[in-house]
Amino acid sequence: MTRQRLVLRWRHRLVEAEVVEASSSWRVRLGDRTISVSIRPLGPHVYAITVDGRRGIAHFAAEADAYHLHLDGNTYTISRGGLGAGGPGGPDPADVRAPMPGVVTRILVRTGQVVEAGEPLYVLEAMKMETVVRAPVRARVVEIRAERDSQVEGGATVVELEGLP
Amino acid sequence: MFRKVLVANRGEIAVRVLRACRELGIRTVAVYSEADEDSLHVWLADEAALIGPSEPERSYLHIGRILDAARATGAEAIHPGYGFLAENPEFAAACRDAGIAFIGPPPEVLEAVGDKARARRLGARLGIPVLPGTDHPVGDEEALPQAHRIGFPLLLKAAGGGGGRGMRVVRSPEELPQLLPDARREARAAFGTDAILLERYLERPRHIEIQVLLDRYGGAVHLAERECSIQRRHQKVMEEAPSVAVDPTLRGRLAEAALRMMREAGYVNAGTVEFLVDREGDFYFLEVNARLQVEHPVTELVTGVDLVHQQLRIAAGEALAIRQEAVTLRGWAIQARVYAEDPERDFAPSAGTVLHLQEPHLPGVRVDSGIRVGQRIPVHYDPLLSKVIAWAPDRPTAIARLRQALAAYVVLGPTTNLGFLLDVLGHPGFASGEVSTTFLADHFPDWRAREPSEEAFAVAAVLAGRAWTTGAPPQGFADPWDRLRGWRMG
């Protein structure tokens, strides 16, 4: 019998799962609930599943540390907790990395400035659309790492924040 | 008819046009940028020409390179699709000078109707209602007095193009100095000109447009209306035909105004005249779209007319074979645009590789797609991936079909708006047809994706265990999949 403990992350929600393999299925423990899962591959990325007696089709694809799951008409991107920027303690609430590659057209804050949640930090232009990146929480601007009109990669840190209580 | 046509576009519209050409026995040429080497349209064409790097200015917007490709392949005509060079008079003129047919209106007409201010003056001259506004682009000094003359709220609009780029709603005089430079900057980036018009902003209007076809011999028909009120940031998300708000009388008045305008402009080929319709059923001319529209399929499904075939026939010099009396509306069609974007991040475009794709197959459902498995979604272009269009005998059934189709649509890799579209379709206000251009802003100001259920986390946990084995498995990890394979065989 194999037993595996893993942490999954969806947005800011961390879920600890213990996966125990039974004879032809798995028992997954999430908190105090145990869910029985059986899975049969039908083809690349497509699985016939039974979850607590309910049958369905799941579509699943894995990237470096993100999993994409389509189930019951919904698509979820779930990452491995404890990996990447999130760290074991969960995602960094002050993570305001560029959501996509683009050009920083305006920087709206200065180093040292205290910003409130929702306050605009910088404007990124990509695909001819302007996207305003805002502070997710009350924070102090620690560093500004990009210049106006510079090209940045998706995921690049443009403004570094330090969360404030 | 042409023997060979070059399609100067990419994505779903290039695919749509390439297929239409093939249906008429026309050989096809695709053009592509370096970012699109693996894109679907490149593989569908008989020939494909690389025209430059990823940046649109050096590929899909580069007139010289596209004409070179047409000459090198012996294409007799160019279909521009929508966006890029579709409404560029300079491009249409360059095609004509090169002896290549441009599948669209003549350059002089593009110039006249593409200039929003000129189109507005033309409408006003013909007695078509227009909203109070400026009939020429405004300078910075002139903006405030003009704004006071028109009244608030008002809309800043880019003179050079549509799609919501360079558009801002100004609710008070104090907002103008901030929003005008914003609009100018966005307009310059999108259309190469920062010319801005001011117009009275209607609260909660419907966006209704009339599809027309005109040949070069004076033949003209309209194919009724589309309603495109479901918009976010002034960009259409869902369209339908017909409209719940248009009765035969209003349809007749709108169509008459549209055809009068297009005839007067000397328009040839497929085009659309857009209107805003208020609560009282009064309508105002908005603008002319001198091209095939993204939402053209809903018209095709309710009228049975293939608009791309008609474009090709008209451009090849054929006379319209459709009589107005023969145009009837049958059933209801609704289109949802599937974008690679994150509705939770203010609809920011998302990039990524399509890891897995399953398109819906249902009765009455059409999918116009520009993607395939393994394709990287480039960040350089419009994030539209595909369109799902459902037809049914009536509107409630069309909604039900479209919901089923979107729920069965699997795109793994880039973040899409599929979940958002499903929630919009499930909204009681959409079902009742009580929509306006602010419907999304009113009802979905802060939309959030559904959280995975515990069951979904459980499935993900088991499948993730298997995925680890393809990378670096954690220490001491035993692959449950080995056992599973044994179980399957046993």
Q: Evaluate if residue B484 carries a pLDDT over 70.
A: no
Q: Evaluate if residue A120 carries a pLDDT over 60.
A: yes
If pLDDT is split at 50, 70 and 90, which confidence band does A90 have? very low
**pLDDT at residue number A84:** 33
**pLDDT at residue number B487:** 38
Task: Tell me how far apart the alpha carbons of residues B452 and B300 are, in angstroms, rounded to a whole number.
Answer: 38
Using alpha carbons, list the distances in angstroms from residue B421 to B231, B243, B335, B383, B389: 11, 19, 10, 15, 12
Facing B459 at nearest CB: one of A21, A58, A126? A58
Q: Do A15 and B415 touch (CB under 8 A)?
A: no
Residues 133-152 of A with CB under 8 A from B: none
First to last CA, chain A: 46
- Å between A6 CA and nearest CA of chain B: 7
Looking at B233-359, which runs of residues are DSSP E strands?
235-241, 269-277, 283-289, 332-339, 341-342, 348-349, 352-353, 356-358
Query: In the block, which residue shows the tokens 């209704």?
Result: B208
Q: Evaluate if residue B172 carries a pLDDT over 90.
A: yes
Chain A within 8 Å of B410 (Cβ-Cβ)? yes
**pLDDT at residue number B237:** 97
Interface test with A, best of B350, B380, B459 (most A CBs within 10 A): B459
Q: Do A75 and B450 touch (CB under 8 A)?
A: no
Chain A within 8 Å of B189 (Cβ-Cβ)? yes
Chain A within 8 Å of B72 (Cβ-Cβ)? no
Chains A and B form CB pairs within 8 A to the count of: 173
Q: Do B410 and A75 touch (CB under 8 A)?
A: yes
| Backbone φ and ψ of A69, nearest 5° | -130, 130
Q: Evaluate if residue B489 carries a pLDDT over 80.
A: no
Contacts 24+ apart (CB under 8 A), A112-119: A112/A140, A112/A141, A113/A140, A113/A141, A114/A138, A114/A139, A114/A140, A114/A141, A114/A164, A115/A139, A115/A140, A115/A141, A115/A161
Q: Do B480 and A67 touch (CB under 8 A)?
A: no
Mean pLDDT over the full length of chain B = 93
A17-29 per-position pLDDT tens digit: 999 988 778 999 9
Radius of gyration of chain B (CA): 24
- Say what percent of chain B tops pLDDT 70: 95
Q: Which of A46-50, B64-68, B302-306, B485-489 has the lowest mean pLDDT?
A: B485-489
Chain A environment of B402 (Cβ under 8 Å): none
Strand partners for A126: A129
Q: Do A54 and B457 touch (CB under 8 A)?
A: no
Helix axes B248-264, B116-125, angle to 10 degrees: 110
Tell me which DSSP letter residue B130 carries.
B
| 3-state DSSP assignment of residue A150 | coil
B454-469 per-position pLDDT tens digit: 999 999 999 987 654 3
Strand partners for A56: A49
Chain B environment of A74 (Cβ under 8 Å): 419, 450, 452, 456
Chain A environment of B348 (Cβ under 8 Å): 99-100, 126, 129, 131
Task: Tell me how far apart the alpha carbons of residues B353 and B356 are, in angstroms, rounded to a whole number.
Answer: 9
Chain A environment of B465 (Cβ under 8 Å): 4, 6, 19
Q: What is the DSSP string of B16-60?
A: HHHHHHHHTT-EEEEEEEGGGTT-HHHHHSSEEEEEE-SSGGGTT
Residues 57-96 of A with CB under 8 A from B: 58-64, 67-78, 80
Q: Which of A55-69, B287-301, B327-341, B394-408 has the lowest mean pLDDT?
A: A55-69
**pLDDT at residue number B225:** 98
**pLDDT at residue number B208:** 98
B267-317 per-position pLDDT tens digit: 999 999 999 999 889 999 999 999 999 999 999 999 999 999 999 999 999
If pLDDT is split at 50, 70 and 90, which confidence band does A134 have? confident
Chain A environment of B413 (Cβ under 8 Å): 61, 63, 68
**pLDDT at residue number A94:** 55
Query: For B344-363, what is the mean pLDDT?
Result: 93
Q: Do B452 and A62 touch (CB under 8 A)?
A: no
Q: Evaluate if residue B474 carries a pLDDT over 90.
A: no
Chain B environment of A78 (Cβ under 8 Å): 452, 457, 460, 464
**pLDDT at residue number B174:** 94
Q: Evaluate if residue B343 carries a pLDDT over 60.
A: yes
pTM, 2 dp: 0.83
Mean pLDDT over the full length of chain A = 83
